[in-house]
Amino acid sequence: MKYRYLGGLEVSALGLGCMGMTGVYGSGADKNEMIKLVRDAHNRGVTMFDTAEAYGPFANEALVGEALQPIRDKVVIATKFGFDIDLETGARTGGTNSRPEHIKAVADAALKRLRTDRIDLFYQHRVDLNVPIEDVAGAVKELIAAGKVKHFGLSEAGVQTIRRAHAVQPVAAVQSEYSLFWRGPEAELLPVLEDLGIGFVPFSPLGAGFLTGKIDENTKFEQGDFRNLVPRFSPDVRKANLALVDVVKAVADRKGATPAQVALAWLLAQKPWIVPIPGTTKLHRLEENLGAVELELTADDLAEIDAEASKIEIQGERLPEAVLKMTGH
């Protein structure tokens, strides 16, 4: 495994996104199998594990906490706050809540579920338009002073929000969607992160599975799989977007690699402070993804991917409209 830095936080070059282990892509997987998978990932060099109170709610943090308890001091746990979730019942309104007192209560509850005394990376999951970002950063700063949190992160935040937060409490990492399937961060976000010395954690680095080459216009997703709600995954749109997968496959065939490995290696090649967090519930997929760390894409490979991808106009929005409205800019 190779290692990278998110701000001052050292992590494996690929992390593990744990969201799908308790649902989202349909029914959740077997808990004991997922605990084993998390530990298998660590045995293969993965040190960063990504979860959130909203995944479940609460079930995902509890799973990750149980899995990592025996190796707690060898790993980095990233979790998130920011939704209006009742801390007793798990009931949620669908809205955001980053009031300072709520952030602190979420941190205490997360520490118990995660079976730990500190959160290594605490992200605001979505920007709360009702709470100044300076107040959010100030609350996390207090949690850091208390030793309950080590580093501050933001998810799906706009560049002005990031600058304002960073001025109060240095931001170690920003998490947002980024892949060959969605290159939105390249225009504004990446230059600002580079300027401020903030790391970037792309979620959905494989385009929610699309860039693996295992999905086509005839693929049927399980009931409850969020991709059924995503415009980019409607069958007719999927068929048009397969042209991008063909570009990745061509490079993969030449390199003796898989499309997933090429897609992840492409991300790793963009900046040395980018740490993708592909998720999976299968050991063979985990091992395949980790193979991307050793896959060297040459300047010619990268130029070919960019040239061919630039000819393709990706169809469909990356998220449902209601979710897109919650990305803060």
Given a contact cutoff of 8 angstroms between Cβ atoms, the answer to whether 242 and 180 are in contact is no
> 140: buried, middle or exposed (CB in 10 Å: 19+, 13-18, 0-12)?
buried
Q: Identify the active-site residue in 25, 55, 123, 178.
A: 55
Confirm whether 55 is a catalytic residue. yes
Burial state string for 218-253 with b = 16 or more CB within 10 A and e = fewer than 16 = eeebeeebbbeebebbeeebbeebeebbebbbebbe
Handedness of CA 107, 165, 154, 293 (dihedral sign): negative
For 45, 88, 227, the CA distances from 76, given in Å and listed in that order, are 12, 26, 29
Question: Helices (H) and strands (E) in the chain — how many of each?
Answer: 11, 11
Residue 275's CB is within 10 A of a number of other CB atoms, namely 27
CA dihedral sign, ordered 176, 182, 188, 190:
positive
Containing 269, the helix (H) or strand (E) segment is helix 259-270
Please give the structure tokens belonging to residue 247. Answer: 């570009």
Cα torsion at 16, 18, 19, 23 (round to 10°)? 130
The rounded distance, in Å, linking the Cα atoms of 99 and 94 is 15
Q: How far are the Cα atoms of 113, 210, 285, 323 from residue 27, in angstroms, in the given order? A: 21, 19, 18, 21
Which residue bears the tokens 């979860």? 51
DSSP strand pairing (9-12 vs 76-81): unpaired
Catalytic residues: 55
